[in-house]
Structure 1
Amino acid sequence: MKTVIITLALIMVTQLSAQLKTVDYSDGTQKLTGFSIAPAKKSAQSMGILILPAWMGIDDHSKEVAQKLATEGHYAFVADIYGADKKPADTKKAGELSGYYKSNYEEYQRRIKLALDKLVKSGANKDKIVVIGYCFGGTGALEATRGGLPVQAVVSFHGGLGKDEKRGNGAIKPKVLILHGADDPYVPQKDIEAFQKEMRDAKADWQMVYYANAVHAFTEKKAGNDNSKGAAYNEKADKRSWEHFMVLLDELNK
C-alpha cells in the first residue's frame, strides 16, 4: 500500500511539473527565458500572478510557487530579469546584477512589463493581475507599482523597500502588501520609514505585516535555519505570509 501511495504521489508531481512551460521572449537583442503555467481548471476567481525571483534569478523556489498557484486555480509566470545567458554563478555576481537593476530601475520596470505581457498572452485576464516578488524580486514588485504598471496589487516577500531619495514619491494605485521578517538585518529602519512615508504620501491602500523571529529569505528552505546569518527559513513565517497573500487574492475577487 505504501509503495502504491508513493507511486501515485510521484505521478501527481510529474503531471504538475509538466504544466510548467518554457517561454522565450526578448528585450531588444537580449534573449529572456521565463516559465508559464496555467490552472488545470480556470474560473471567475482565476488571477494572473507574475513572480519575480530573488537575486540568484529563476530558481526552484520561484517555479514551485508558480506550480502551487496553478493548483490554487491561477495563471502564473516566472519572469526572467537578467537574461537567458546571464544567470549569476555566485552571490557576488548576483549582487552586481541585482544592484544594477535597483539603480537602473526603469530597465527593471521594463523587464517586468515584458513579463507581464507574456502572462496576459498565456491566458490571464489583463484586469486581474498581481505581481509578487521574493527578496530582490520584492523590490521589483514595488517597482511595478512605482512604474505605474497595470496591476491590481503587488506583494513583497522579504523584499527590499528602499529607493533613491532623489526619485521622490508618486502615485500608488495598486494595493500593496509587504510581508516582512521582524528581524531582517538587510532592510534598514530608514528604508522602512521612507517606504511608509511613500505609501502615506500616495494615500495608497497598503499593509505591512511583520513576522516574529524571522530574518531575510524566510520563505526559502535552502537558506537553512540559522538566523544569525541574516537569512534563514522560518516555517511559521512562510506559512503565515502565504495565508496573508491568499487573503489579498480573495479580497481582490470580491
Structure 2
Amino acid sequence: MKTFITSILLVISLTTQAQLKPISYSDENQKLEGLLAKPGKMNAKKAGVLVLPAWMGIDNNAKESAENLAKLGYITFVADIYGVDKRPTNSKEAGQIAGSFKTDYKAYQKRIQLALDQLIKAGANPEKIAIIGYCFGGTGALEAARANFKVNGVVSFHGGLGRDAARTIEPINPKVLVLHGADDFFIPETEIKAFQDEMRTSKADWQMIYYADAVHAFTHKDAGNDKTKGTAYNEKAAKRSWQAMVDFFNEILAK
C-alpha cells in the first residue's frame, strides 16, 4: 500500500512540475509572451534551459520539450521570438518572418538575449545555462553561440547551419552540439561544410551527430512520416537526439 501511494504521489509531482506559465516581457514596443516551466525538484546547480521554437513560433514540440526538461530538474523558458501579435498562421508567413530574422541576425540575437534574461529572472543560475532550438530555433541556438552569449552550451536540433559568408568568424566560447538528420536535403552539403569550417576556424568545442533515415523536423510528432516531403517524424532519431542532449547537459551543466 505504501509503495502504491508513493507511486501516485510521484505521478502527481511530475504532472505539477510540468505546468507552463505564460510570462509577458517586451522588446521596446513589441509585446512578447514566453512560457516558463519550473521543476518540482530543482537540480543542485539551479541550471536553466532556454528553448527556441521552430518557425511557426511557440508550438507543441517546444511546449513538450519544456515540460520534459522541467521533469529533469531544469528551469526552462520557451522564447517568444516573433511577438504576441506576429504569430504566423501558415508556413508561407512563417517562412517570411523567420527569413527576416535570419537576415537580421542581430535582431534575432536580441530576442534570444531578452528571453535569456527572463530565464535568469525566474531563478536560473546565470553560470549554468544552455540553449536548445528546433529548425529555425536551431539556427538561433547557433547564433547565440556566435554572439558568445554567456551560456555553457547550445544544442541545435535539425537546425539551419548557414551564415553570411561576409561575416567575420569570431572565437566561439559556448560548447556546440548539432543533431542532424542524415537525409535532410534542406541543408545542402555546401552549408554543412561551411559550418564545419566555421567551427574549426572559431576554435569551438563542437560535436555533430547524424541520425540515419532522418530528415528535417525529425523530432516533431506532427511532421508526418513521409520523408519525400523533406520533413518527417522519426521516433528513433528523436529519442536518440534527446538522450544526446541530456548527456551534453550532464557534461556542461552538472559539474
TM-score normalised by length of structure 1: 0.94
Question: 1:181-220 counterparts in 2 under 5 A?
Answer: 181-220=181-220
Q: Which residue of 1 aligns with 2:4?
A: none
Q: Distance in 1 between matches of 2:122 and 2:50?
A: 11
Provide, for residues 135-170 of structure 1, a one-character-per-residue CA deviation record: whole Å limited to 9, x for no partner. 000000000011121110000000000011111211
After superposition, what is the alpha-carbon deviation per residue over 1:5-29, rounded to whole angstroms, capped at 9, x for unaligned?
A: xx99996776345x31100000000
Mapping 1:117-132, distance limit 5 Å: 117-132=117-132
The verdict on how the C-alpha distance between 1:23 and 1:55 changes in structure 2, with shifts beyond 3 A counting, is same
Aligned to 2:90: 90
Q: Deviations over 1:154-200 (max 9, x none)?
A: 00000000011111211100100000000001111111011101110
2: CA distance between counterparts of 1:34 and 1:170? 30
Q: CA RMSD in A?
A: 1.7
What is the aligned partner in structure 2 of residue 4 from structure 1?
none
- Counterpart CA distance in 1 for 2:250 and 2:14 is 26
**Equivalences for 1:1-254 in 2 at 5 Å?**
15-17=16-18, 19-252=19-252, 253-254=254-255
**Residue ranges of structure 2 left out of the alignment (5+ in a row):** 1-7
- 3-state SS of 1:167 partner: coil
Following TM superposition, the consecutive aligned residue runs of length 4 or more in structure 1 with deviations greater than 2 angstroms are: 7-17
In the alignment of these two chains, the number of paired residues is: 247
Report the equivalent of 1:3: none
Distance 2:102 2:39 in 1: 32
User: Equivalents in 2 of 1:199, 1:79: separation in Å?
Assistant: 25
Q: 1:223 to 1:13 in 2, by over 3 A?
A: farther
Distance 1:12 1:27 in 2: 35
AA aligned to 1:15 is: T
The CA distance in 1 between the partners of 2:187 and 2:86, in whole Å, is: 26
Taking a change above 3 Å as real, the CA distance of residues 90 and 149 of structure 1, as seen in their structure-2 partners, is same
User: What's 2:3 paired with?
Assistant: none
Provide the rounded CA distance (Å) in 2 between the counterparts of 1:200 and 1:226.
35
* Cα distance between partner residues in 2 of 1:240 and 1:118: 29
Q: 1:74 to 1:209 in 2, by over 3 A?
A: same
Q: Residue 229 of structure 1: CA displacement?
A: 0.7
Deviation at 1:80, TM superposition (A): 0.3
Q: Secondary structure at the match of 1:166?
A: coil
The amino acid that maps onto 1:135 is C
Letter in 2 for 1:91: S
2:219·2:235 contact (CA, 8 Å) conserved in 1? yes
| Whole-angstrom distance in 2 between the partners of 1:179 and 1:26 | 31
The DSSP-based 3-state class of the residue aligned with 2:166 is helix
> Identity over the aligned pairs, expressed in percent?
57
Please give the alpha-carbon distance, in whole angstroms, between the structure 2 residues aligned to 1:125 and 1:82. 26
Query: 2: distance between equivalents of 1:222 and 1:210?
Result: 21
